[in-house]
Structure 1
Amino acid sequence: MEQHPLEDIATAPAEHLGALSWVGMEGIALPLQIAGQPITGRASAGVSLDEPTARGIHMSRLYLALADLAHQELTLPQIAAVLDTFLASHDGLSEAAFLDLEGEALLRRPALLSPLSGWKTYPFTLRCRRDSSGLHVILDLSVGYSSTCPCSAALARQLVQQAFDKNFSEAPITHEMVREWLGSDQGILATPHSQRSQAHLSVRVAPNQESLPLLALVDRVEQALGTALQTAVKRIDEQAFALANGQNLMFCEDAARRLHATLSEQPNISGFSLRVVHAESLHAHDAVARSEWNWQD
């Protein structure tokens, strides 16, 4: 029997003429590798449809091009090459290509003092665009940390002072008496409140660098805040974490300013937007602060 070519109705002219800013696919499963660890990623891939008479694009060409990113360390040159393939496969149809990659980077993080370590996830989205002006890359990243309220710390210290005055109103007072009292329930009758907090960052990445700056960004953010969330710990780590919180009392405004300062010094970043969220343990609402530098998303 004679084999007839399969009909491709996508090549027919569009019923209603007009260019489209974006056509593609979202939610594509894609195995990625970040900082040496495999993760389950998701991709959104597309191109502009600038030819007004064309009915559609070749979505299968976008899908197949994504295979070049699978099962290997994600780098900016690889992403740029895939975007170039998107455009080459739609020559005459498209002038811009888009690729969003998202997932949870899986990083091994050490305990504060003990030799223990454990895994933490860092949600991220990499938003990439290639057009006539070049390659544009924005990295969205979320980093968790602990924040202790400076106001509640001051109020707790005041209560401790009042209890001290009440318990040691009569002389003589010895060093041993005070030390024993400080180690009792009376000595810590009030404690400041802390909460698990989140820093949500969007940074414009210089397109000429080789590696994705995700790990370096996580390290700088956690170092600037000083109270990174922990994984496996021993008691010495828990004590060190309590000390870190006591030495890094932060309103959301304080955390935002710390991050603004450290991101401003981060190499290969040309702009950023940040948002910190302190999930209040005192209130039923969140405390939020935002900051931007050279930013227009």
Structure 2
Amino acid sequence: MLRYDDKQTLEPLPPSGQNGGRKAYLFRNTDGAEPVIPRVYDAHFRPDEAYRASLPDMTETVDAVEGANVPIPQVGIAGFRLPLRFAVPSGEPLLLEARVTGTVSLEADLKGINMSRIIRTFYARKEAIFDLDTLAQVVRDYQRELGSLSARVRVAFSYPMLVPSLRSGLEGYQYYDGRYEAAVEGSGPVRRYVELDFVYSSACPCSAELAEHARDVRGAYAIPHSQRSVAHLRVEVAEGARLHLEDLVHHAREALKTEVQVMVKREDEQAFAELNGVYVKFVEDAVRLLYARLVADPRIHDFQVACAHLESLHAHDAVAVIAKGVPGGFRPDFTDFSSLVR
């Protein structure tokens, strides 16, 4: 084996066990020399206040910024999990796994933020009954604790609701992917948002007409195509209003009529086929039906709806996006349709 000396010329390494006095910092060397640094964890050490005060803090450093010394609109954590007791419109709170994303703004000249404070802010309210108002309080605490101009917290969860079958009298739990979000800029009001992914069936009106034509004109039996479909609803709650995820579920059910089923016997499957026959819909119909429901709810200040019909006829999907049209509000610019695939 070869090594470089100080003059950058190659020379042979000494034989094993004759290391020429080279140190091994973490491990015992081949000649039996002990490591320079002992790797021993002191499980009994307990820091006092003076020790804590002596610890270096990167947020207090100066001239430490790497790269462009510019503000960062969002910096924080994503994927932090904890159990929260979610408020329900009626009955006992539900203990659900929550997945938290929390960010704040960071001004120029500052190295970074204390990210553990994001987690501590949530744990300070871990016993509270969680709803949008609780989240609004959390985001205010979050902004104050980190001394930031803006702050945003998003909580994602899977929300169970007991749903009856169409005709058999059975019932089962439907799970809804939901998100609560709160955001604040400076001393402005906290803006609150609710999101829902709603899964339904969509039977194609054109295919239904063509199938009936084949039966009527040629006596040919044909089945119209339908597919599993997803509506993504994002709404901003009006200031002072209260809105629950279940309210959005109700709007989606009433607008679309063909939610996928949980418990199904033969009479339920037949009923579902009849529902799809009555409520055939293009993706264009779906977003307009949802628009009509949401725009009529005074608790909803603004909204965006994105629908994806996961086609059984094509190898691609049919999609549509619509927004309420509030000046400066949501725009119909949703593009992440792959996230709606179920």
TM over 0.5: yes
1:193 aligns with 2:225: yes
Conserved? CA contact 1:38–1:71, under 8 Å: no
Aligned partner of residue 63 in structure 1, secondary structure: helix
Task: Give the corresponding residue for 2:250.
Answer: 219
Aligned partner of residue 89 in structure 1, secondary structure: helix
- The counterpart of 2:80, out of the listed 18, 28, 39, is 28
* 1:31-50 pair list within 5 angstroms: 31-34=83-86, 35=88, 36-50=93-107
- The counterpart of 1:206, out of the listed 235, 238, 241, is 238
In 2, the alpha carbon distance for the partners of 1:74 and 1:267 equals: 23
CA apart distance, 1:24: 1.6
93-102 or 12-21, which deviates more: 12-21
Task: Give the corresponding residue for 2:56.
Answer: 8
Task: Give the corresponding residue for 1:116.
Answer: 170
In 2, the alpha carbon distance for the partners of 1:59 and 1:283 equals: 46
70-79 or 109-118, which deviates more: 70-79
CA apart distance, 1:151: 1.0
71-80 or 285-294, which deviates more: 71-80
Aligned partner of residue 140 in structure 1, secondary structure: strand
Aligned partner of residue 206 in structure 2, secondary structure: helix
Aligned partner of residue 255 in structure 1, secondary structure: helix
In 2, the alpha carbon distance for the partners of 1:248 and 1:148 equals: 8
For residues 239-281 of structure 1, give each alpha carbon's deviation from its aligned partner in whole angstroms, at most 9, with x where no partner exists.
2111111100111111111111111112311111111111111
Which structure carries more relative contact order (alpha carbon 8 Å, separation 6+)? 1
Gaps of 5+ in 1: 165-185
CA apart distance, 1:286: 0.6
Gaps of 5+ in 2: 1-44, 332-342
CA apart distance, 1:68: 4.3
In 2, the alpha carbon distance for the partners of 1:67 and 1:206 equals: 27
- Superposition TM-score, scaled by structure 1 size: 0.83
Task: Give the corresponding residue for 1:86.
Answer: 142
Task: Give the corresponding residue for 2:16.
Answer: none
1:140 aligns with 2:195: yes
Distance 1:111 1:14, change over 3 A: farther
- The counterpart of 2:270, out of the listed 209, 234, 239, is 239
Larger Cα Rg: Structure 1 or Structure 2?
2
For residues 126-172 of structure 1, give each alpha carbon's deviation from its aligned partner in whole angstroms, at most 9, with x where no partner exists.
232122221112222210000111111111111221355xxxxxxxx
For residues 165-205 of structure 1, give each alpha carbon's deviation from its aligned partner in whole angstroms, at most 9, with x where no partner exists.
xxxxxxxxxxxxxxxxxxxxx7xx21211111111111111
Distance 1:115 1:73, change over 3 A: farther
Distance 1:228 1:69, change over 3 A: farther
Conserved? CA contact 2:183–2:190, under 8 Å: yes
- The counterpart of 1:152, out of the listed 200, 207, 226, is 207
1:296 aligns with 2:330: yes
User: Percent sequence identity over matched residues?
Assistant: 34
Q: Name the amino acid aligned to 2:94.
A: Q
Distance 1:163 1:20, change over 3 A: closer
Distance 1:251 1:265, change over 3 A: same
Distance 1:68 1:245, change over 3 A: farther
Instruction: Please state which structure has a larger fraction of its residues in helix.
Output: 1
Aligned partner of residue 110 in structure 2, secondary structure: coil
1:255 aligns with 2:310: no
- Superposition TM-score, scaled by structure 2 size: 0.73
Task: Give the corresponding residue for 2:311.
Answer: 280
Alpha carbon RMSD of aligned pairs, Å? Answer: 2.3
CA apart distance, 1:49: 2.3
Aligned partner of residue 134 in structure 1, secondary structure: coil
Distance 1:125 1:135, change over 3 A: same
